[in-house]
Amino acid sequence: MQKKIESFFKHSSNPPPSVNSDDLFDGIRAPKYPEIRIKYTRQPTRVEESTSDGLIGEEFFEREKSKGKNLNKKRKYAQFHLELGQSDFLLHTCKVCEIQYTKGDETDEKVHNSFHKNFTHGIPFKGWRQERLIDLPELERDRIVIVSNFDPPAQRKKVQEVVKMMEIELGEGWIFHELCQVYLFISSQRVAGCMIVEPISKAHKLLSDSVQKISDSASGKELVSKAKTLQFGTICFQREVSRKGSTHKRKGSTHKSLEAMDSNLLGSIVCEEEATPASCGIRAIWVSPSNRRKHIATHLLDAVRKSFSTDNVLEHSRLAFSNPTSAGKALATNYTGTGSFLVYKT
């Protein structure tokens, strides 16, 4: 019988010696480095937007935080508009008070509403402890207050406020000076009207036909020239209205032209050369738009005639008007009862 295959191998009773890995490389050892532990921490959210100062991320966040700004506040989204050639795209001009403001802007609209109310209804007036009043029997709830340059600063400050409102319609830089007296018409705790007067010594009588005319003998027509002209370099265009009729000549009186041009007049103011004695000059008249056609200007004129002179009541013939517009000319004609009222140059 054959032997088993295991009998050909001799098994040793001693275990084989273990082989050390260090002996294999024979002195070649890897250097031992210190143990490095990597720890990952979550960083705070960074602001990704760059600024004009060149700061981004955490630097911008810390700087804005130091200023006390709340960067977590929600954004406000504004309404955008399309510019399609509108004349009032950026600023809207009110047709009544002529102030310019931005539509949609809360601050601008608030300022416009306040100014618009003061312009149309009059400047607020709570009153003073000491007021110089004019007693007119036809006035019941309203009153007229006189202010001069010798009154307290609070009263003069109110006059300056009214004058600025008058300058919007009448022009700047000529309405008031130190020698003027101011008559304020107070209605519903507002200055509804104002009249500024000054002492004068002479004036000139206005011609009833004060429109400057130019006759055209060739065509037999009469041209009435307007005050406004349009000029381009040396070329001047003047708007004229042609009226048919015979030429009219005034005899027996020389006349001169006051340089009082206005867009509401058909020409210059023409008055007589000879001066006429006068006492009171009506320098400016203003009534708020919502209070017009209520005879406020007439009441102011009555107050002027009653109080301007300490001796007696002034006659209508002693009043003179400065550079009247078409509305002022109508008022003076109705009040004095004649178209040839007195006019003086300021």
User: Domain range for residue 99?
Assistant: 94-121
Residues 190 and 280 in one domain: yes
Please give the pLDDT value at position 244: 41
Residue type, 228: K
Residue 244 CA to residue 219 CA, distance in Å, equals: 9
Q: Which two tokens stand for residue 21?
A: 């890995």
Residue 211 CA to residue 271 CA, distance in Å, equals: 10
Residues 99 and 197 in one domain: no
Count of CB atoms within 10 A of residue 3's CB?
Answer: 7
Please give the pLDDT value at position 230: 57
Strand partners, 244: 221
80 belongs to a structural domain: no
- The long-range contacts involving 249-257, CB below 8 angstroms and separated by at least 24 positions, are 250/207, 250/209, 253/207, 255/207, 256/204, 257/212
Please give the pLDDT value at position 215: 34
Residues 129 and 188 in one domain: yes
Cα dihedral value 134, 135, 137, 142, nearest 10: 60
Closest CA relative to residue 215, chosen from 181, 244, 185, 255: 244
Residue 313 CA to residue 301 CA, distance in Å, equals: 11
User: In this structure, what are the phi and psi dihedrals at residue 220, rounded to the nearest 5 degrees?
Assistant: 70, 20
Report which DSSP code applies to 111. H
260 belongs to a structural domain: no
Please give the pLDDT value at position 99: 86
Kindly tell me the sign of the dihedral angle through the C-alpha atoms of 329, 332, 337, 342: negative
Please give the pLDDT value at position 250: 39
- C-alpha angle 15/16/19, rounded to 5°? 135
CATH number at residue 299: 3.40.630.30
251 belongs to a structural domain: no
Count of CB atoms within 10 A of residue 340's CB?
Answer: 15
Residues 133 and 184 in one domain: yes
288 belongs to a structural domain: yes
223 belongs to a structural domain: no
Instruction: Yes or no: say if 194 and 166 are a contact pair by the CB < 8 Å rule.
Output: yes
Burial class (CB in 10 A: 0-12, 13-18, 19+), 333: middle
Residue 67: CA atoms inside 13 Å, Cβ hemisphere, count? 8
Q: What is the pLDDT along the chain (346 residues), one digit of tens a residue?
A: 556 666 666 655 565 555 555 555 555 565 666 666 766 666 665 544 444 555 555 666 666 666 665 555 666 666 566 666 656 567 888 888 888 888 888 888 999 999 999 999 999 999 999 999 998 988 989 999 999 989 999 999 999 999 999 998 888 889 999 999 999 999 999 999 999 999 999 999 988 655 443 333 334 444 344 445 555 555 555 555 544 443 333 334 444 444 443 444 445 678 888 899 999 999 999 999 999 999 999 999 999 999 998 888 999 999 999 888 888 889 999 999 988 899 998 7
279 belongs to a structural domain: yes
Q: Domain total for the chain? A: 2
Residues 198 and 288 in one domain: yes
